[in-house]
Amino acid sequence: MDSIIISGGSKLTGKVKISAAKNSVLPIIAASLLCPFECKLEDIPFLDDVYVICDVLNSVGANISLNKKSNRISIKADNITSIEPPYELVRKMRASFLVIGPLLSRFGRCRISLPGGCNIGTRPIDLHLKGFCALGADVRLGHGYVEAYCNKLKGAKIYLDFPSVGATENIMMAAVLAQGETIIENAAEEPEVVDLSNFLNSMGANIIGAGTDTIRIIGVKELKGTTHQVIPDRIEAGTYMVAAAITQGSVVVENVILEHIRPVIAKLQEAGVTVIEEQNKVKVVANGVPKAVDIKTMPYPGFPTDMQAQFMALMSIAKGTSIITETVFENRFMHVTELKRMGANIKIDGRSAVVEGTAKLTGAQVKATDLRAGAALVLAGLVAEGKTEICEVHHLDRGYVNIVEKMQSLGANIQRIQKE
Ligand code: EPU
């Protein structure tokens, strides 16, 4: 298993280009199952999670070709041979569950293993299933599997108890080929939901309101192939913005949609960091140690849970005490013990963490427990005194394109080493 070794202390400077959003690409690839025609996706980040969703589609008979040189993927689902992706693939990644909406909608059946909990919470799928039932599917659970059947899905009004991103996406994909009108109330407003809606509309779907809390989907008979360019990854962007702030550096983060990173910009500015906005890029300049700020994660447009760990790393060296409250997931503080091993002063009290800024972190051997926890440890390692060794870096491979190379290009003393 590989490790990442960082010698802290370099101020990051230069430019970094953000890749396309992992959390957009995954549902969009799943949505390509909705039609038998070729869908072409551009600017694809070739991440481990993207390979897994491609394998899931392959396993049901979709034809996928990856062009790594031009960062493109083309998918043709004209010969679907199975409605049951194998457990060995599905268990690798929760987002595999996103194929249920398209398969059910197009073929009237899907059997898929139930995703388990993970390091950030129990992560139930009740809201996805509630949506499928409302659309008229017969949904059964047993032996660790979900089976859903229908003759033809019928439009319905669905209220989500929580604006779940995955449930909104899965229900939207199921509803595009349903008979009549579906309305999703209290829908997730995340940019990735809007990107999926734009992709589906370019296939001929009729979706209005994505990006607001009410999405209206008027079912169509069939969809056609399309070409789509995926939005930039707002979480990767936020991570490099924090990298500039934590190292008191000056970094231009390119290929961003400013509107998508508003909460991160606002919180960095509140912490005393200079953020200069330009078209499709931001320059982040930190002269001095940032001030402590409080953070509360919320569904979009609130502060993203996927940036909570990275901000905790920043707050670990800030002036003052910050309270970080996680409201989206119930167990997303696994990085706390690792940051504490590096000298951070953090106490957890229920869903909040009280972070008392310390003058210095010290390098240590630490473990990435999930994707964003891994990113937080990289950030902490950049500013820590001495050497930090992060193990279990396969988590980072799921969501950050070439993080070591990108950090190196900004002047970080970071390398990846292969271990037995
Ligand atoms: N929830 C339910 N029932 C459901 C679905 C969700 O109770 O049926 C709860 C979850 O347990 C959680 C909350 O709702 O407490 C939010 O979950 P959501 O469904 O919104 O998350 P997700 O779709 O499973 C996506 C991203 C996550 C990101 C969250 C929140 C993808 C592939 N994943 O997950 O990304 O944290 O939305 O923004 O889009 C990451 O990239 O590191 C990551 C974990």
**C-alpha to C-alpha distance for 87 and 110, rounded to whole angstroms:** 13
Q: Give burial (CB, 10 Å; 0-12/13-18/19+) of 135.
A: buried
CA of 164 to the centre of ligand 1 (A): 6
Average pLDDT value for residue range 98-127: 88
Helices (H), 91-190: 100-107, 126-134, 165-175
**C-alpha to C-alpha distance for 32 and 8, rounded to whole angstroms:** 43
CA of 28 to the centre of ligand 1 (A): 16
Average pLDDT value for residue range 401-413: 98
Using one digit for the tens of pLDDT, what is the confidence trace for 139-156? 999 999 999 999 999 999
Using one digit for the tens of pLDDT, what is the confidence trace for 15-42? 999 999 999 999 999 999 999 999 999 9
Using one digit for the tens of pLDDT, what is the confidence trace for 238-289? 999 999 999 999 999 999 999 999 999 999 999 999 999 999 999 999 999 9
Choosing from 19, 23, 403 the residue with most ligand 1 atoms within 8 A of its CB, the one to mutate for a pocket test is 23
pLDDT above 80 for 337: yes
b/e sequence 293-326, b meaning 16+ C-beta within 10 Å:
bebebebbeebbbbbbbbbbbbbbbbeeebebbb
SS3 256: coil
Handedness of CA 234, 237, 243, 248 (dihedral sign): negative
Specify the ligand 1 atom closest to the Cα of 130. Answer: 8
Tokens of 416: 């990846």
**Ligand 1 site, residue 126, Cβ cutoff 6 A:** yes
**Ligand 1 site, residue 162, Cβ cutoff 6 A:** yes
Q: Return the pLDDT at 116.
A: 64
Percent of the chain at pLDDT above 90?
A: 95
Q: Return the pLDDT at 366.
A: 97
pLDDT above 90 for 2: yes
Task: Decide the pairing of beta strands 321-325 and 295-296.
Answer: parallel
Residue nearest to atom 39 of ligand 1 (CA): 23
Residue nearest to atom 26 of ligand 1 (CA): 23
DSSP 22: H
- Give this prediction's pTM: 0.97
Number of neighbours of residue 152 by Cβ within 10 angstroms? 12
**Ligand 1 site, residue 121, Cβ cutoff 6 A:** yes
DSSP string, 136-160: T-EEEEETTEEEEE-SS-B--EEE-
Using one digit for the tens of pLDDT, what is the confidence trace for 285-322? 999 999 999 999 999 999 999 999 999 999 999 999 99
**Ligand 1 site, residue 306, Cβ cutoff 6 A:** yes
**Ligand 1 site, residue 166, Cβ cutoff 6 A:** yes
**Ligand 1 site, residue 170, Cβ cutoff 6 A:** no
In sequence order, what are the residues at sequence separation of 6 or more whose Cβ sits closer than 8 angstroms to the Cβ of residue 124?
none
**C-alpha to C-alpha distance for 333 and 331, rounded to whole angstroms:** 6
How would residue 123 be classed by pLDDT, with cut points 50, 70 and 90? confident
Choosing from 29, 93, 97, 164 the residue with most ligand 1 atoms within 8 A of its CB, the one to mutate for a pocket test is 164
Closest CA to 342 of 266, 409, 246: 246
Q: How many residues in the chain? A: 420
Residue nearest to atom 19 of ligand 1 (CA): 164
Q: Return the pLDDT at 122.
A: 75
CA-derived radius of gyration, the chain:
21
State the distance between the two ends of the chain, measured CA to CA, in whole angstroms.
6
CA of 234 to the centre of ligand 1 (A): 16
Tokens of 125: 């799928």
Q: Return the pLDDT at 375.
A: 98
> Known catalytic residues?
118
Tokens of 124: 């139930």
DSSP 209: -
**Ligand 1 site, residue 384, Cβ cutoff 6 A:** no
